[in-house]
Amino acid sequence: MMHVFHRDQRESYPVAVRGEGCYLIDSHGQRYLDAAAGAAVSCLGHSDAEVIAAVEAQLRRLPYAVTSFFTTEPAEQLADLLASDAPPGLDKVWFALDGSEAVESALKLARQWAIETGQPQRREIISRRQSYHGNTLGALSAGGNAFRRAPYEPLLVPMHHVSPCYPYREQGVAESDAAYAERLVRELEHEIARLGAENVLAFIAETVAGATLGSACAVPGYFRRVREVCDRYGVLMILDEVMCGLGRTGHLHACLAEDVVPDLLCLAKGLGAGYQPIGAVLIHRKVSDAIASGSGAFQHGHTFMGHAAACAGALAVQRAIRNRGLVEAVRERGQSLGKRLREQFGGHPHVGDIRGRGLFWTLELVRERDTKQPFDPSLGLQARVKAEAMLRGLTCYPMAGCVDGRRGDHVMLAPPYIITEHQLDELADKLARAIDVAIESSK
């Protein structure tokens, strides 16, 4: 066990050998309550018999057929299911292997739409600061995570970043939600004007901000106003629901809560729930029709896209989410989780904000609550929380950089949709101890 080039060369990782519902078990028999579902992935837990059987059955019939020669039954059925309850107009599905590839595909679909509709000058993409859209170069260019971008900056495609919707730190004390939304939308409009509206191709945002900002929900009305601005200037709206989609926030699609329909909707993580790697873009017919009736072909593709076994796994996952009432379960359990977090951490001197929706929650850690002063990033508080939680048999998703890409620590929680009330108690308990020990050791 010496040859995997691990993400962090200084770490020694436990060997995960088994999954059992919401728990991961390592080679020493240590059990971890998976309160992050990996990285907001394993929404059905780690041992769903129906999904495993569906993947097995497909592997026996046909593991793979290249999409430039064939389509397959599971790919067609999965696309039909996704289109059947998608927001109106999003009735075509492009398959990808993961979230980054879904975002890459969406950016390219947008560009091809501009060409097909006789607007080849449209090439500017506007995204938001403290966003994350993936690690491939196009997706990283769109992303606004300063830390992740820094080493690759010379290789990135120039894109433009406006403010995220981050009420805890960026909404004025006396500023109403409506006024805050308006201020953000004006900033977007100024950016569009600065670039020349006719040159702007797309605006991309996470509907509920994920890893970098920690489950920050937009203030009411923000996305509706963004949609209006995009429509006014002929700019495509891409929503990235790779992390927050497919039930995670208590809605099948997070944009349903915002009452907007994007032109392109990126999905991954909860699509295959970790049983298979898969991502997708739901495409509005305005975009798909332009390509279908124009050049006729999307000039893009990857060898493993639409992989038959991956589609069969995702189909079983998506049927389970719908047939077992798991979106409703997320809403219910999400309320319990929010309540527990508020009870446990509402008065905590170093928890500045508790935010989230559905089973997607974040604690933002601060040195001082009154001033919202973050901890010194050199303390590596988020890494300490991760280590202390794992020692106690809990995996959560601590991250740094919510304030400005470097400063600010938060702990994100995104447990499986099947988590029980009893496991929520275990989560809150273990997390409280991990946070306290980590903070104590950084003083």
First to last CA, the chain: 36
Residue 274 or 428 with smaller CB distance to ligand PLP: 274
Are the beta carbons of 427 and 35 closer than 8 angstroms? yes
Q: Is 40 left (phi over 0), alpha (psi -120 to 50) or beta?
A: left
Residue 243 within binding range of ligand PLP, rule CB under 6 A? yes
Quote the longest CA-to-CA distance of the chain.
Answer: 63
Residue 266 CB, nearest approach to ligand PLP (Å):
7
Residue 39 within binding range of ligand PLP, rule CB under 6 A? yes
Residue 131 or 344 with smaller CB distance to ligand PLP: 131
Residue 195 or 244 with smaller CB distance to ligand PLP: 244
Residue 253 within binding range of ligand PLP, rule CB under 6 A? no
Residue 281 CB, nearest approach to ligand PLP (Å):
12
Residue 118 buriedness (CB in 10 A; 0-12 / 13-18 / 19+): exposed
Strand partners, 236: 202
x-marked contacts with ligand PLP along 255-284 as a string, rule CB under 6 A: -------------x----------------
Residue 125 CB, nearest approach to ligand PLP (Å):
15
Residue 211 within binding range of ligand PLP, rule CB under 6 A? yes
Residue 133 within binding range of ligand PLP, rule CB under 6 A? yes
Residue 107 within binding range of ligand PLP, rule CB under 6 A? no
Member of 45, 74, 138, 210 binding ligand PLP (CB under 6 A)? 210
Are the beta carbons of 110 and 119 closer than 8 angstroms? no
Residue 206 within binding range of ligand PLP, rule CB under 6 A? yes
Are the beta carbons of 329 and 423 closer than 8 angstroms? no
Member of 42, 100, 362, 423 binding ligand PLP (CB under 6 A)? 100
Residue 134 CB, nearest approach to ligand PLP (Å):
3
**Sheet containing strand 16-20, strands side by side:** 16-20, 23-26, 31-34, 394-395
How far, CA to CA in Å, does 354 sit from each of 140, 343, 344, 393?
27, 11, 11, 22
Backbone angles phi, psi at 194, to 5 degrees: -60, -40
Residue nearest to ligand PLP (CB): 99
Helices 421-441 and 381-391, axial angle in degrees (round to 10): 130
Residue 143 CB, nearest approach to ligand PLP (Å):
8
Strand partners, 282: 93, 265
Residue 97 or 321 with smaller CB distance to ligand PLP: 97
* Residues near ligand PLP (CB under 6 A): 39, 98-100, 103, 132-134, 206, 210-211, 240, 242-243, 268
